[in-house]
A and B are shown apart, each in its own frame.
Chain A
């Protein structure tokens, strides 16, 4: 593979593909030594192997690779050191000052050849038909050491053992031979090809942190084994992250796509389109076919790691369900009619303008996608503001992290996480609240678990006993299993302990925060009614545990808080975010590595969508639409007068639609019918509109109510940028032409122009230039800059030319940090005799959000339906057994699904996921929302659970309606 597309100079050391053999070491002291006559200086603690590689001298190796610690088992990397006896392994031998190393001598040649000969004697010689042909380190090393002959052939008549021949020369079965395990949908394990280098086992432990793999047996009997004996890869604890496959130097662990297609011929660096971690990947291509996606070692978010979604679940891009031609229909009860792009765009533009003529300029709006690129999102909000002529733009962040925007904006002055992901490597105490990173943000979870294994302490605040609470080699110091809806009470009680016990960082507060506000806040939290004991009845949290957790966080060193939608999706979501900001300021945990407030963003580009002005009250860069100076910047550039009043948010749009004042909606890449709460209200709102334009890959649930369907493109088919949870702007690069004909930004431009915009963009880089020209925090960002640096974290401008890995270093964006009083207010959603249980919702590792993408991949083998987790006690009193169909009902609606009995949830709490449209968990959720932002209260719904026979009437009706509305007329002959 020669044609790498690598940011920066080709082969520049910063982005080199070279495997240095052992991990980088950081030290203030450098050591100078000589290798093969060349002098080299490296940080103390560096291995000879790595030092040699920095010189460009590769030492043969099999068991070493630079994303895991040296193991020293293959003996191939032996070197000679002057003045030392023997031939030490260069991977496990650290450099010393003045050391003189020889990597290639007659003695070493002989030794390495002997080692290789032994390896190859127990390895099949089917290289030509092997899937790893051309991409096999064993093959490479055989070449590198000059292996020409293997003397240890199995004698005819048996008598010599090996692992790779199915039968011996006499035809008798070889007891050492094991069949291939192809249980995992994405890769195979072929024991016959294994050289027992342990790279897979170490990757599972060190990189992923799952510990699913082990070496079973000793000596000649050593085998890689997933789970317990009798397990396959699929039935084991394996989470299919792909780290072992990546690490395997042979074809023992091999992607099925490579087996099917062959080895790739080029790589393109791009960014994953699943969660907010924003992993960098190499799309490995043959022609315009993706052969595999492998994590890019220089990706600063993921540092060479991946999860099952990004690594393997990209097959949806070519799924047969994808709609590739535009479609229209007069009414949502009609079948779809396939039309030309021209016809579809004209139809959409005419209808939208017609609605405005009859119902006013503000009767239409749009929703930007947190899945699409920054450039696409920017253009959608630009179209709404400048072409539609109103501010009725919103994005799915409304239903996930809008309270983060509001809360952190109030406290610190900016709506963003304060750290980079690398920061976790310096953390001593972590609070994870309302987040389940091992499922929702798996690559970050692996980085967190690595730090926890190094000794950092963990506090988990979550109604469920998530995997992080206790998993191999990780155990939370404290788990506070609170009742859903009581976050504010718990966070305030933590502050109570810190303040009343004098554990706060007074110097930090005096220097950085408003002291008067602090004093008022301190007086507030110190009241007895906020003590852990006082709130215990309400929250269900053991006061002693809570006190211990508060002390640990305040006094445990660098403290970092990571949170997710379990914080924001509540009627007091914004208050909890402010409470979290208070905790960080109280303990002085801001402005340096290892600390901070870190929202874990749900979708790949939620951060970017917010940055790009998707909200109805904010122009790009979080500037309120009422600011004349900001509007002027855009008015001048866009040649349009902008509305100075905020527009409608998604729930407001739906309310206005039901009321009859909102009639037209353009939805790019979001399925509001499945993902937004209170499905019946959403469908009523959509059904009341005269023109719903859905732009998506698939006929999603929202499209059931659409009049125009515009085919969307995948992240593989377009150029652009995504901004991840750490504010990192990463490039998305086109690796294949859009199967639907256009990238999403082009579709938006077609629609805008049909409505009179006159835009002439020919490449997304021009859009980024416009963003940089108008938005101060992006002033320094350009595609050229990103090519050179790989990625950058905003703010990136004159003040921060290199970007900003950590925010608020010398002071808060807003000046002084604000302590805000956080009074607990119970949600209106309460349990009672009719609905005695609390439902909370979440995600699972293998599926993503509404599942539109992951349900169209083999990831369904891990999760083919949503299930209801219920505590054994609650199940027993209802006569519910494992796997029973149960009816889940709230005051909003009801649905049926199967029960999973588990004590992961507390008594009184039930839990489900929302990945499958036939379950539609959001039929149950209510229209209550966060007080500040209208972010829906997904996480607390009073419900009842009862046995039932199967799907509810609503589910049957819904399925029928969905089927009807997806009819497509056969093309005219």
Chain B
């Protein structure tokens, strides 16, 4: 894993760690919302790329969030 991907993984996991502690069942949506609101598209693209490459090191909550983000808008 390259250093910049490693950094994105850490940042994404940090976000997931926070929302995982929040009540209710919207954690994945919250993580997805946060990524969408604050991450520049090329960061998201790199994250998606990493998920496609196996998503090493990413927390399950991030993986669920990415899945939501990549669903075509209904």
Contact = CB atoms under 8 A, between A and B. Distances in A.
Most buried by B among A626, A646, A825, A929: A646
Nearest to B3: A658
Given A655-B7, A820-B22, A932-B18, A616 B40 contact: yes
Contact of A821 (B7, B23, B39): B23
Given A652-B43, A658-B4, A821-B23, A931 B17 contact: yes
Contact of B40 (A626, A646, A823): A646
B18 A575 contact: yes
A362 B42 contact: yes
B53 interface: no
Interface in B22-49: 22-23, 34, 36-43
A616 B37 CA distance: 10
A249 B59 CA distance: 69
Nearest to B41: A645
Contacts of A645: 40-41
Residues of A contacting B: mostly? loop
B40 A932 contact: no
A18 interface: no
Contacts of B36: 626
A362 B14 CA distance: 26
A456 to B, nearest CB: 34
B69 interface: no
Given A932-B15, A932-B34, A934-B11, A648 B23 contact: no
B64 interface: no
A659 interface: yes
A391 B7 CA distance: 22
Q: For chain B, which range describes its interface: under 10, 10 to 19, 20 to 34, or 35 or more residues?
A: 20 to 34
Given A362-B42, A658-B4, A520 B23 contact: yes
A392 B39 CA distance: 11
Nearest to B17: A825
Most buried by B among A571, A574, A931: A931
A617 B35 CA distance: 11
Interface in A449-476: none
Interface string A609-653: 000000011000000101000000000000000000111110010
A730 B17 CA distance: 41
B65 to A, nearest CB: 14
Contacts of A658: 4
B4 A655 contact: yes
Contacts of B34: 932
A438 B61 CA distance: 44
Nearest to A390: B40
A927 interface: yes
A686 B7 CA distance: 19
A902 interface: no
Nearest to B39: A646
Nearest to B40: A648
A362 B42 CA distance: 10
Contact of B37 (A571, A646, A649): A646
Contacts of A575: 18
Interface string A653-671: 0011011010000000000
Interface string A794-821: 0000000000000000000000000011
Interface string A224-237: 00000000000000
Contacts of A934: 11
B21 interface: yes
A149 interface: no
Contacts of B4: 655, 658-659
Q: For chain A, which range describes its interface: under 10, 10 to 19, 20 to 34, or 35 or more residues?
A: 20 to 34
Contacts of A927: 7
A828 interface: yes
Contacts, number: 57
Given A821-B23, A823-B21, A571 B38 contact: no
Contact of A931 (B14, B22, B23, B41): B14
Most buried by B among A624, A647, A652, A934: A652
A359 to B, nearest CB: 12
Contacts of B38: 617, 646, 649, 932-933
B20 to A, nearest CB: 8
Nearest to A653: B40
A285 B66 CA distance: 61
Most buried by A among B14, B15, B21: B14
A564 B59 CA distance: 32
A571 B23 contact: no
A617 B41 contact: no
B40 A821 contact: no
Given A617-B37, A624-B37, A661 B42 contact: yes
Interface in A128-163: none
Contacts of B14: 571, 931
Interface in A353-380: 362
Nearest to A391: B40
A821 B37 contact: no
A892 to B, nearest CB: 13
A646 B35 CA distance: 10
A655 B43 CA distance: 10
A648 B8 CA distance: 13
B22 A821 contact: yes
A655 B42 CA distance: 11
A931 B15 contact: yes
A648 B45 CA distance: 13
Nearest to A928: B10
A793 to B, nearest CB: 28
B38 to A, nearest CB: 6
Interface string A815-839: 0000011010100100000000000
Nearest to A822: B21
B15 A652 contact: no
B43 to A, nearest CB: 6
A617 B41 CA distance: 12
A617 B38 CA distance: 6
Contact of B18 (A517, A616, A647, A931): A931
Interface string A930-941: 011110000000
A441 B42 CA distance: 39
A362 B7 CA distance: 21
Nearest to A930: B14
A649 B11 CA distance: 13
A245 to B, nearest CB: 48
B48 to A, nearest CB: 14
Nearest to B10: A828
Nearest to A825: B17
A574 B18 CA distance: 10
Contacts of B40: 362, 391-392, 616, 645-649, 652
A828 to B, nearest CB: 7
A658 B42 CA distance: 14
Most buried by A among B7, B21, B40: B40
A94 to B, nearest CB: 58
Contacts of A821: 21-23
A626 B15 contact: no
Contacts of B21: 821, 823
Nearest to A517: B23
A656 B42 contact: yes
Most buried by A among B11, B18, B21, B36: B18
A373 B70 CA distance: 41
Nearest to B12: A931
Given A517-B23, A655-B7, 11 more contacts: A571-B14, A617-B38, A626-B36, A646-B37, A646-B39, A648-B42, A823-B18, A825-B18, A931-B11, A931-B14, A933-B38
26 contacts: A362-B40, A517-B23, A520-B23, A574-B18, A616-B40, A617-B37, A626-B37, A646-B38, A646-B39, A648-B40, A649-B38, A652-B40, A652-B43, A658-B4, A659-B4, A661-B42, A821-B23, A825-B17, A825-B18, A828-B10, A931-B14, A931-B17, A932-B15, A932-B18, A932-B34, A934-B11
Closest 9 CB pairs of A and B: A931-B14, A823-B21, A648-B40, A520-B23, A645-B41, A931-B18, A821-B21, A655-B4, A931-B15
